[in-house]
Chain A
Amino acid sequence: MASTRSKAETKAIPLDAFGRDVERRRQAAGNIEVPRNEGTRRTPSKRALLKAIEDSGGNW
């Protein structure tokens, strides 16, 4: 498991390596559920942006 560090690393970590570390952490932590944002505090701008994404065919 890659340690978090107190200061920024000098070299960027590749996304696939980062993702594999996240997967290791998930396995080590057991049953982790991370809820989606409930969306109750969205600004009008955010709501409009999400609507535009939806209208473009985005399926998230």
Chain B
Amino acid sequence: MTSPYRPEFEAGLAALARVAERMKAQGCLPPVLVGGGAVEIYSNSAIITGDFDISTARQDVFEQALREEGFIRPSGAGKATRGWIHPELKLGFEVVSDRLLDGNAERDRVRRISIGDEGEIAVISVEDMIADRMGQYASGTARDMLDQAKALFRLYPDADRAYMERRIREETAGDHGIDTLES
């Protein structure tokens, strides 16, 4: 498999695919990649620093699958985290929500991407990813989130504008819409 993504990022996606396949084998929906990892896959820009944010309603099954894949939970003074790391792959996963953007993102818009023989991963839709970044921008002074949203908007001119407009309004309490991205 050859892809334009950096090898360490691709290794993380492969690990996620293996975990997702373990979950599906138990009748669970696959975990969904959200956050910076989703921005990275949609933009092929080096966004994340080794941590993959995940949304899954079955954190227990997800974390069991991580254990089976060799992940460990860091322990010790100053290491209290909900996340898991893989000592050889040198990357981590953390469940950040049990519902996709608080249940406001439409699950059937999730993108499915095949990672060779490892299996498939699920990635939040680009429209919801843009809305998420706008929500974070609206909640503070996160200029980086606005810039990420604008970049994704430029990369995906064929995105579903009606859905994206609605989702941005929802995430920003009505303060922003597509017009902010176009300004």
Which A positions have Cβ atoms within 8 angstroms of B? 1, 3-9, 11-16, 18-20, 22-23, 25-26, 29, 32-38, 40-41, 44-46, 48-54, 56-60
**B114 part of interface (Cβ distance < 8 Å):** yes
Contact B155 A29 (CB under 8 A): yes
Contact B44 A15 (CB under 8 A): no
User: Could you say which of B81, B113, B155, B159 contacts A45, with CB atoms under 8 Å apart?
Assistant: B81
**B183 part of interface (Cβ distance < 8 Å):** no
Residues of chain A contacted by B127 (CB below 8 angstroms): 4
Residues of chain B contacted by A60 (CB below 8 angstroms): 8, 46, 48-50, 91
Chain B: how many interface residues by the 8 Å CB criterion?
64
**B126 part of interface (Cβ distance < 8 Å):** yes
With A34-B151, A52-B79, A52-B81 in contact, do A18 and B113 touch (Cβ < 8 Å)? yes
User: Could you say which of B8, B113, B160 contacts A14, with CB atoms under 8 Å apart?
Assistant: B113
Contact A8 B110 (CB under 8 A): yes
Residues of chain B contacted by A16 (CB below 8 angstroms): 1-4
Q: How far is the CA of A11 from the CA of B125 in the complex (A)?
A: 15
Contact B156 A4 (CB under 8 A): yes
